[in-house]
Amino acid sequence: MFYLIGIGLKPKQLTLEALEILKNCDQIFLEKYTSEYSEGLIKELIEIIGKKFKLLGREEIETNFDSALLSAKKNNIALMIFGNALTATTHIQLLIDAKEKGIKYKIIPGISITNTISESCLDEYKFGRTITICYHEKDYEPETFYNQILENEKSGLHTLCLLDIKKDEKPKRLMNCKEAIEVIEKISLKKNETIHLDYIALLGMSSEKQKIVFGREKIFSAKEINEIFPQTMIIPGKINEKEKEAIEKLVK
């Protein structure tokens, strides 16, 4: 059996279902490149499971995971994913590969950033399509996410912005909300468009240090912007009176 397991945003968010399965697995892997814990260390996860596991980078999973997957025909193999197993990943391909090879599989959900956005006091039902803001580099300056932000805003919907992570680089790079805003404004300038967007920064959600920062100016001046990771950002659409009241009384 092949298990694709979401392990949450910190070690203590591992579900009892996931723990029971992991304790009975013959081999365990952890995908290390799409995100990381907001709090806690890998060694804590090892202690909770009671077993060691192998860390895998992007290439090891996307091009070199076949042998591990094939062994799931006779053994219990698990691939652990930070957050939720299929949120903001490309690991659906592994399930397709398993199906084509006649390998049984099971998905074990975990807590992800999408489970924490309501702490911003915005209505979860009013979020449009989620986007990912990518680093702009030489010969690679994607703009699709920018267009989707404007589409969501036009419909009055909030936008959850996942931020780029380069964990395979040395040193690793995790985009912060200030950098994300700068990318959006760079595209706006390039297109000669005037935009009026609000921003909410979600820093290290689910950790003891988690912080929610409202507004561009506060985000740019907050010292935590360079200290607390991973980060996610919300661009609010039309805020109703109940959301406004909740933000004023509970968050700001």
Q: List, for residues 147-178, the tens digit of each pLDDT value.
A: 999 999 999 999 999 999 998 788 889 999 99
Sign of CA dihedral 39, 42, 43, 45: positive
Q: Which CATH superfamily is domain 2-112 in?
A: Tetrapyrrole methylase, N-terminal domain (3.40.1010.10)
Distance CA 116, CA 9 (A): 10
- Mean pLDDT throughout 187-213? 95
pLDDT value for 242: 94
- Mean pLDDT throughout 108-120? 95
pLDDT value for 251: 80
| Full-model pTM | 0.92
Q: What percent of the chain has pLDDT over 90?
A: 88
Distance CA 165, CA 141 (A): 15
Q: Is the pLDDT of residue 88 over 90?
A: no
- Mean pLDDT throughout 107-126? 95
132 burial via Cβ count (<10 Å: 0-12, 13-18, 19+): middle
Residues of the chain with CATH 3.30.950.10: 116-251
Residues of the chain with CATH 3.40.1010.10: 2-112
| 116-251 to CATH, choices 3.40.47.10, 3.30.950.10, 3.30.70.20, 3.40.50.300 | 3.30.950.10
- Contact (CB, 8 A) for 81 and 34: yes
- Mean pLDDT throughout 190-216? 95
pLDDT value for 252: 67
Q: What angle do CA 247, 200, 251 make, to 5 degrees?
A: 25
Query: How confident is the model over 4-61, as pLDDT tens digits?
Result: 999 999 999 999 999 999 999 999 999 988 899 999 999 999 999 999 999 999 889 9
Report the chain's mean pLDDT, rounded to a whole number. Answer: 95
> What backbone phi and psi angles, to 5 degrees, belong to 110?
-140, 170
- Contact (CB, 8 A) for 8 and 14: yes
